[in-house]
Amino acid sequence: MLLKKLVPAAAAVMLAGALFSGCAEKPLTEVGNYGDIGNYLNKDESWYGTDEALEIADAIVGYQLSDGGWRKAWDDPTVTGSWAKSTVDNDGTTSEIYILARVYNAAGGNKYKKACLKGIDLLLKGQYENGGWPQVFDDPGTYHAHITYNDYAMVHILALLKSVADKSGDFGFIDSARAEKAAKAVENGVKCILDTQIEVNGVKTAWCQQYDETTLKPAEGRAYELVSISAAESVGIIDFLKSLPERTDEIKESVNSAISWLDSVKLSGIKFVTQGDDKVVIEDENAEPIWARFYEIGTNKPIFVDRDGILRYDVSEISKERRTGYAWYGSWAKKLIAAGPIE
């Protein structure tokens, strides 16, 4: 899911001077026109030392919130409510941290390093004692406060902090104190992952998209994201666990149990295809296996939910808007199944 660009209102122009403190001067009419932050992560390494990169980095510094993070629509100050707070949804905050680190490595500039470290500090301070992270920081009483694997949010945090802990990749400049804190955060995050793996009749399966931040029980997200086992998010979790250089017996058991579960719920002989302005399931005996996004806990039946929050077992029974606007099926686990269990 990509960040959607919001059209700035007149208020954005009035606030531009305050928001761009420390940033390069920019015509007020262009405030809010930087677009999807993730696009800048796809640039060639040489780009991060260019004038364009410095301009983007200046904007990122200018739009950084007081706690060290960035809002979902990172360059749109007219956003209100939960999405006006620092978030890791849709690669938020982690993307800005990576870009600032790359620009600092390529061009120097203490302000980029300072903003980068402030973002990292938010991730370290924002971790729950149980090892999880919320989708939106400081947003109690909402689903955003749940421990969030949805769209790989927590996995992205862990991957970044693993690099910080190792002082590797973009983060060779990290001080030892932060590196030690990051290593501990990763350790606690892995424990949270292991603690939240869903068991059915004593057998480990995989993971829900989000969990209650206090009880660690699977929790609902948006109306169409019910308590369930999510194939897509579970693949991201497994890939992260597999990337760890030290695999304990507990990690191996967790990974292999999840891979076994994914193999058991693959769907054969069908495709989910676009027909005109709609998407439908068709039969095809030659189709490669696919997975549903959500499976009912206990029955392993694929489930589909509309904005009314009512569970259905057939994607054709939800509205076209939701049917075409969400990833209900995918080949997420194909490579994991092909690779097999780990030793």
CATH code: domain of residue 233: 1.50.10.20
Q: How would residue 219 be classed by pLDDT, with cut points 50, 70 and 90?
A: very high
- CA–CA distance, 58 with 94 (Å, rounded to integer): 16
Q: How would residue 158 be classed by pLDDT, with cut points 50, 70 and 90?
A: very high
Answer whether residue 11 shows pLDDT above 90: no
Answer whether residue 14 shows pLDDT above 70: no
Of the CA atoms within 13 Å of residue 330, those in its CB half-sphere come to: 14
Q: Which domain holds residue 311?
A: 198-343
pLDDT value at residue 338: 97
User: Could you tell me if 152 and 7 lie in one domain?
Assistant: yes
Contact 138, 84 (CB under 8 A): no
Instruction: Bin 35: left if φ > 0, else alpha if -120 < ψ < 50, else beta.
Output: left
Amino acid at 202: G
- CA–CA distance, 96 with 40 (Å, rounded to integer): 9
Residues contacting residue 19 through CB under 8 Å, at least 6 positions apart: 31, 62, 63, 77
Residues contacting residue 140 through CB under 8 Å, at least 6 positions apart: none
pLDDT tens-digit readout, 84-98: 999 999 999 999 999
Per the prediction, the chain carries an average pLDDT of 91
* pLDDT higher at 55 or 10: 55
pLDDT value at residue 327: 97
User: Could you tell me if 192 and 214 lie in one domain?
Assistant: no
- CA–CA distance, 221 with 144 (Å, rounded to integer): 8
Amino acid at 89: D
User: Could you tell me if 36 and 184 lie in one domain?
Assistant: yes
- Where do we find the tokens 């019910």? 226
| Span 255-281, average pLDDT | 98
Q: How would residue 25 be classed by pLDDT, with cut points 50, 70 and 90?
A: very low
Give the pTM: 0.89
pLDDT value at residue 77: 87
pLDDT value at residue 145: 98
pLDDT value at residue 305: 98
Given 148, 175, 196, which residue is the final one in a domain? 196
User: Could you tell me if 210 and 99 lie in one domain?
Assistant: no
User: Could you tell me if 192 and 203 lie in one domain?
Assistant: no
User: Could you tell me if 271 and 178 lie in one domain?
Assistant: no
Task: Report, in this order, helix, strand and coil percent for the chain, each rounded to 5.
Answer: 45, 10, 40
User: Could you tell me if 282 and 180 lie in one domain?
Assistant: no
| Residues of the chain above pLDDT 90, percent | 87
Amino acid at 327: A
- CA–CA distance, 53 with 55 (Å, rounded to integer): 5
Instruction: Bin 72: left if φ > 0, else alpha if -120 < ψ < 50, else beta.
Output: alpha
User: Could you tell me if 153 and 206 lie in one domain?
Assistant: no
User: Could you tell me if 180 and 327 lie in one domain?
Assistant: no
| Span 171-191, average pLDDT | 98
| Span 134-155, average pLDDT | 97
Answer whether residue 7 shows pLDDT above 80: no
Residue ranges of alpha helices (H) inside 151-270 are 153-166, 176-196, 231-243, 249-264
Answer whether residue 29 shows pLDDT above 60: no
User: Could you tell me if 133 and 219 lie in one domain?
Assistant: no
Number of domains comprising the chain: 2
pLDDT value at residue 32: 58
- CA–CA distance, 217 with 313 (Å, rounded to integer): 23
3-state secondary structure of 267: strand
User: Could you tell me if 42 and 141 lie in one domain?
Assistant: yes
Q: How would residue 34 be classed by pLDDT, with cut points 50, 70 and 90?
A: confident
User: Could you tell me if 56 and 186 lie in one domain?
Assistant: yes
pLDDT value at residue 314: 98
- CA–CA distance, 236 with 254 (Å, rounded to integer): 13
pLDDT value at residue 339: 97
Answer whether residue 26 shows pLDDT above 50: no
| Span 287-313, average pLDDT | 98
pLDDT value at residue 9: 29
